[in-house]
Amino acid sequence: MTAFPDAAAHDYDTRILRMVPGYLLAQDLAAAVLAAAVPPPSTILVAGCGTGSEILAIARALPDACITGVDPSPGMIAAARRRIDDAGLSGRIRLETATVDALDDRPDHDACMVSLVLHFIADDGGKGAFLSGIRRRLRPDARLVLIDPAAEEGLAPAYGAWLAANGLDAEGVLAVLNRTAHQWHCVSPERLAALLHQSGFGPPETFFTALAYRGVVTNAR
């Protein structure tokens, strides 16, 4: 997992809305996917929890769930803690400045959500190791929800137009498109399915698409 600099947490929640098409809808749908399949009471892991948006969405959808959020960025965890305290949810949410590998290596979670994390991890064994680490911490048949951009080069012009419509100037649009094409480690839906299979998960099912961004759900085998 990539640690963002602490300064990135200051405007992350407003910046991400201009970067990811359907961001809030994706969070709500992901939480609904978990709520429909995970019986209460449940324990949910949020890997790369950032400023806590996914945690808050899950907490609303699963009022009996205990949630653990991990992120290697102290700034992100501090922002998440403020939001969770403000929402009065600190009693059932645990936050750690850590990676998944720092958690106890035992299968004691009923589900996991990973939003906008996988594309920061190189497909040189790193993606597989990350997913395998999550699998080891999930009970059999536990749900895994992933939201991430896919490698869909043909959608770049439409994505650029959407970014411009949401307030980015031409230089900003070009910078984002360059970053997605040359710095992110996006994979095709087929490659993602293969990585999940190798890591101990079943075939993914899509529940959300917006330009190149996709939300998929799968079960631990």
How confident is the model over 6-27, as pLDDT tens digits?
Answer: 777 889 999 999 999 999 999 9
Q: Is the pLDDT of residue 153 over 90?
A: no
Domains held by the chain: number: 1
User: How high is the mean pLDDT of the chain?
Assistant: 95
Q: Could you tell me which of 142, 110, 131 has the C-alpha nearest to residue 220?
A: 142
Query: Residue 147 belongs to a domain with what CATH number?
Result: 3.40.50.150
Q: Are 106 and 39 in contact (CB under 8 A)?
A: no
Task: Report helix, strand or coil for 120.
Answer: helix
Q: Give the tokens for residue 130.
A: 């990350």
Does residue 170 form part of some domain? no
Does residue 175 form part of some domain? no
Using 50, 70 and 90 to split pLDDT, how confident is the model at 1? low
Does residue 136 form part of some domain? yes
How confident is the model over 38-75, as pLDDT tens digits?
Answer: 999 999 999 999 999 999 999 999 999 999 999 999 99
Does residue 165 form part of some domain? no
Q: Could you tell me which of 73, 72, 25 has the C-alpha nearest to residue 53?
A: 25
Q: Is the pLDDT of residue 143 over 80?
A: yes
Which pTM does this prediction carry? 0.95
Domain with 104, as residue range(s), is 6-153+186-219
Q: Alpha-carbon distance 8 to 6, whole Å?
A: 5
Does residue 173 form part of some domain? no
What mean pLDDT is predicted for residues 135-151?
A: 97
pLDDT above 70 as % of the chain: 98
Compute the chain's Rg from CA coordinates: 17
Does residue 57 form part of some domain? yes
Does residue 195 form part of some domain? yes
Q: Is the pLDDT of residue 188 over 70?
A: yes
Does residue 178 form part of some domain? no
H helix or E strand, kind and range, residue 84: helix 74-86
